[in-house]
Amino acid sequence: MQKILISGGNGFLGSHLCDKAINEGLSVTVVDDLSTSKEKQVPKDTHFIKKPVEKFDTKEKFDFVVHLAARPSPDDYTRNPLATIDSNDVGTRNMLEIAHRSNATFFYTSTSEVYGDPDVLPIPETYFGYVNPNGARSCYDESKRFSEALIKAYERQYGMDVRIERPFNVYGPRIREDGFYGRVIPRFIDQALRNKPITVYGDGKQTRSYLYFADWLEATWKFLKDPKAKGAVLNIGSNAEISVMSLAEKILNITKSRSRIAYLPPREEDPKRRAADISLARKILEWEPEVGLEEGLVKTIWWLREKNRL
């Protein structure tokens, strides 16, 4: 039986990855400190270790080591900059050491934030980014960029099998909607379902491209397993760019909400535009996102409505 270690396996994406790994017949170990979780949601068949990844070590060996633990929500990470950096620098190093000792495939979920506020759209992997090294978002952007450098150093020095994914705004069931953890889609859906004001930062003209979790999961599994993907750095996302304002309108229409738009001050250093160039992932993984935004929103709205009885 192959063994996989997943840091952050209790999170939104991590818990879906655990389900997939179990279905594929792997033995799954999760290390997670539950620091950004509301509840435990790892499948019961996983071996669960409650610990921050930056304090984690083990003598056990694995076939795959996946480092997912991170604090990706801007309203959260800007309030917790040191914990954010810890999981990316020391956390990445710890997971790399375990992978190296195990002779495992090392898989890292980096971020589209490594591109900062890009002046090339859609963004290809060859774009080096436009990032403020000490700005409000630097605790996340720069530590993710550092992680990538660290991973490539292990690859160069030890010839390890490493794979770096840059996900672009993934959403869907199990994503948090509450407080500072809520990313824009679950937050707007929750506000719309409660007929509360939709909190648009700035003028709402800023854009993102969104990927439904099932498409992310398919790409990620292929990326983890496919021998052709060894050493690759790949954008996993969508190239369908949409403004925050249009996103709010879509959610209001689908939910038939009575919410009004409340304009709040812009977030500091909020990237103005973001959309993924996914040609490389298409080519290497023979993958194509299948769930359009409308369909993904309907499914996520359904899930949140059921979960919160709204």
Q: Which is nearer to ligand UDP, 180 or 221 (CB)?
A: 180
Burial class from Cβ neighbours inside 10 Å (0-12, 13-18, 19+) for residue 23 reads: exposed
Closest CA to 139 of 202, 76, 208, 207: 76
Question: Minimum distance from CB of 156 to ligand UDP (Å)?
Answer: 30
Question: Minimum distance from CB of 231 to ligand UDP (Å)?
Answer: 27
In contact, 218 and 281? CB cutoff 8 Å: no
Question: Minimum distance from CB of 101 to ligand UDP (Å)?
Answer: 33
Q: Which is nearer to ligand UDP, 38 or 55 (CB)?
A: 38
Residues 6+ apart with CB under 8 A from 246: none
Question: Minimum distance from CB of 70 to ligand UDP (Å)?
Answer: 12
In contact, 303 and 296? CB cutoff 8 Å: no
Question: Minimum distance from CB of 184 to ligand UDP (Å)?
Answer: 3
Say how far apart CA 154 and CA 175 lie, in whole Å: 32
3-state helix, strand, coil in the chain (%, to 5): 40, 20, 40
Say how far apart CA 66 and CA 308 lie, in whole Å: 31
- Residue 31: enclosing H or E segment and its boundaries? strand 27-32
Q: Which is nearer to ligand UDP, 9 or 271 (CB)?
A: 271
Question: Minimum distance from CB of 203 to ligand UDP (Å)?
Answer: 10
Write the DSSP symbol of residue 180: G
Provide the binding-site residues for ligand UDP, judged by CB under 6 A: 73-74, 169, 183-184, 187, 199-201, 206, 208, 244, 267, 270
In contact, 84 and 143? CB cutoff 8 Å: yes
Residue recorded with tokens 């495939």 = 105
Task: Provide the phi-psi class of 263: left if phi over 0, else alpha when psi is between -120 and 50, else beta.
Answer: beta
Of the residues 77, 108, 115, 140, only one is catalytic, namely 140
Say how far apart CA 146 and CA 136 lie, in whole Å: 17
Q: Which is nearer to ligand UDP, 189 or 200 (CB)?
A: 200
For the question of residue 140 being annotated catalytic, the response is yes
Q: Which is nearer to ligand UDP, 21 or 186 (CB)?
A: 186
Q: Which is nearer to ligand UDP, 100 or 267 (CB)?
A: 267
Can you read off the two tokens belonging to residue 90?
């020391």
Q: Among all residues, which ones are annotated catalytic?
A: 140
